[in-house]
Chains A and B, each alone.
Chain A
């Protein structure tokens, strides 16, 4: 559980902002701006952050669904950012994605059977009969009846569609799965089912997840380690208990304070508001620490110098943080 399956180093994904008749580049959105972390074999790494923090972009850049601007992603010893398209396509067997929107991520004109079968066809896995058997097996694995193969996506509910998406992602028996907010588009009553399904599948198949979410309660429930992202950078990374129990970064503390509490008397006693204001424009990042515009602890240092990414944990459980004042605050 300690060897890295995926190593992300200094990953950058910038998008040009073009305006006017000549499509001149007038700026750059630094959606992901120098992110480094490992995903350990067999773990679930939760990646959290508010909308626009770049967490989904990170997930997609790791799988090279985007062409990263810089940095590298090493998967089982190979740098994905340098692979030829054909080699990359073959390698996609081993790394899959579960998408946020179960309505948009299934082709409305393709039957469920063919959706789940497609990865097997693409990678030529097994004979046609074996593929049919495998599709039934996968559907059973995600809790759907094998009879659904002839039906079309629009005949299913959001939760069922997400199960279809999961079956598709599992078809080629991948090791690594990026789950990009797999529950945020679902009804609350369905979310727990899908999260439990993901947990069961991980157990049964020995999967490794990068679980991207903004629902902190779910991340806490599912993750072994948690990474917190803000404006294209990681601000904190550590074990689940460290990050939620003893957060070092003020942003993490603010996020934790925004987790709803079921007990009203405890909720009333909590300091509020948890996170103030809106994040700055990612095309015009603040100088120094990116969080200083919203940070109650900000000093002159924070406004001028970008904080280092340093380890304040132990050798067994590193606890990384990017904050000048982490020791004082914690």
Chain B
């Protein structure tokens, strides 16, 4: 529950960045370069004198969007592929799983670079690209789960009742596989935020001066020893959000599991 509050607070603050932020995100102040955190600059300033607090707020808008969107995509695609492969088995399973292996085997960074260079580098297309490159883990886990659930007596009971395949998968199998699905989804959020930062670093992600937590972190790595706050605050932001999403996932699992509910 607390994690939900934290997550909503951060997301709301980022959304309201234009109202809350004390400066413009690209306002350069050459008299205040690389300053440590102070009352004027809550998180300090970067090498161009831009207020880090402002940039973290603005950065969160894109980072959270990319994180959630690509996690949703990856989880959706992975669950679909895994469920179909696990339920039907046999030939369908072999084809889908070999496809998954191939997708796994392709080094994702070069592919990301290729794909990103063909599309405009806006946040949505980056989220889609990242999402489409990170569904494989979920697909494998979901397939394994479905393989074991498909032989349970309650699934057989549903078949005996005349339930359609879609109903069996949707009502009986997937609800019992939410655990691993949710875990995969929460991990994907963090991974997507980081993946975006790699792209930004290579100049293929969200373009400067628009900040994301990823590119803030990347920019700061070279000066980590001298100006540690530039690394710490974006890093902390990512950490808190990923942690909150993880706890949120835990909470969601409990909420969906009637046996864990206290009566």
Does B bind A? yes
Closest chain A residue, CB of each to CB of B257: A109
Whether A108 pairs with B259 at a CB distance below 8 angstroms is: yes
Residues 127-181 (chain B) with a chain A CB within 8 angstroms: 152-154, 156-164, 167, 171-172, 175-176
Q: Per a CB cutoff under 8 Å, which of B154, B160, B257, B263 touches A107?
A: B154
Is the Cβ of A119 less than 8 Å from the Cβ of B172? Answer: no
Known: A97-B157, A101-B153, A109-B175. A89 touches B162 (CB 8 A): yes
CB proximity of A115 to chain B, nearest CB, Å: 9
B16 to chain A, nearest CB (A): 38
Q: Tell me the B208-263 residues at the A interface (CB within 8 Å).
A: 256-259, 263
Across the two chains, which residue of chain B brings its CB closest to A155?
Answer: B263
* A123–B163 CA distance with the chains assembled, in angstroms: 9
B161 and A92 within 8 A (CB): yes
1/0 per residue, CB under 8 A from B, across A87-125: the answer is 011111100110111001111111100000011001100
A168 adjacent to B161 (CB under 8 Å): yes
- Cβ-neighbour of B161 out of A96, A106, A152 (below 8 A): A96
Does the CB pair A154–B160 fall under 8 Å?
no
- B172 touches which one: A90, A99, A107, A154 (CB < 8 A)? A107
A173 CB to closest chain B CB (Å) equals 13
Is A142 located at the chain interface by the 8 A CB criterion? no
Q: How many residues of A contact B (CB 8 A)?
A: 32
Within 8 A of B (CB), among A128-185: 152, 154-155, 165, 168, 172
CB-contact partner of A109 in B160, B163, B258, under 8 A: B258
Query: Inside 8 A of A168's CB, which chain B residues have their CB?
Result: 157, 161
Residue of B nearest to A109 (CB): B175
Residue of A nearest to B174 (CB): A109
- Among B152, B163, B175, B258, the residue within 8 A (CB) of A154 is B258
Contact B162 A107 (CB under 8 A): no
> Is A63 in contact with chain B by the CB < 8 A criterion?
yes
Interface residue from B160, B167, B259 paired with A65 (Cβ < 8 Å): B160
- Interface bracket on B: 20 to 34
Expressed in whole angstroms, the Cα–Cα distance for A109 and B255 within the complex equals 11
Contact status B162-A152, CB under 8 Å: no
| B158-A118 in contact (CB<8A) | yes
Q: Is the CB of A104 within 8 A of B154?
A: yes
Bound-state CA distance A111–B263 (Å) is 14
Chain B's closest residue to A97 (CB) is: B160
Given contacts A93-B162, A122-B167, are A99 and B256 in contact (CB under 8 A)?
Answer: no
Given contacts A89-B164, A109-B175, A110-B171, contact A99 B258 (CB under 8 A): no
Among B159, B161, B171, B258, the most chain A Cβ lie within 10 Å of the Cβ of B161
List chain B residues, Cβ under 8 A from A100.
153
With A99-B153, A152-B258 already in contact, the answer to whether A108 and B176 are too (CB < 8 A) is yes
Cα–Cα distance between A328 and B253 once the two chains are bound (Å): 66
Query: Which residues from chain A contact B176 at a C-beta distance below 8 Å?
Result: 107-109
Q: Please determine whether B152 and A123 come into contact, CB atoms closer than 8 angstroms.
A: no
- Of B156, B162, B171, B256, which contacts A123 at CB under 8 A? B162
Q: How far is the CA of A105 from the CA of B159 in the complex (A)?
A: 11
Q: A104: which B residues are within 8 A, CB to CB? A: 152-154
User: Closest approach, in angstroms, between the C-beta of A124 and any C-beta of chain B?
Assistant: 11
Chain B residues, Cβ within 8 Å of A91:
162
Q: Which residue of B lies closest to A171 (CB)?
A: B161
The distance in angstroms between the C-alpha atoms of A269 and B53, with both chains bound, is 92
Min C-beta distance of B218 to chain A, whole Å: 43
CA of A89 to CA of B161, assembled, Å: 8
Structural contact, A90 and B162, CB atoms closer than 8 A: yes
Alpha-carbon separation in the docked complex, A93 to B156 (Å): 15
Taking beta carbons and an 8 Å cutoff, which residues of A are in contact with B? Answer: 60, 63, 65, 88-93, 96-97, 99-101, 104-111, 118-119, 122-123, 152, 154-155, 165, 168, 172
16 contacts between A and B (CB under 8 A): A89-B162, A96-B161, A97-B157, A104-B154, A107-B154, A108-B154, A108-B176, A108-B259, A109-B176, A109-B258, A110-B175, A118-B161, A119-B162, A154-B258, A165-B157, A172-B161
User: What 8 A-B pairs come out closest when comparing CB atoms?
Assistant: A92-B162, A104-B153, A152-B258, A105-B153, A89-B162, A107-B154, A109-B175, A97-B160
Q: What would 19 more interface pairs be, CB under 8 Å, given A93-B162, A107-B172?
A: A65-B159, A65-B160, A89-B163, A91-B162, A96-B161, A97-B157, A101-B153, A104-B153, A105-B157, A106-B154, A106-B157, A107-B158, A109-B257, A109-B258, A110-B172, A122-B164, A122-B167, A152-B258, A152-B259
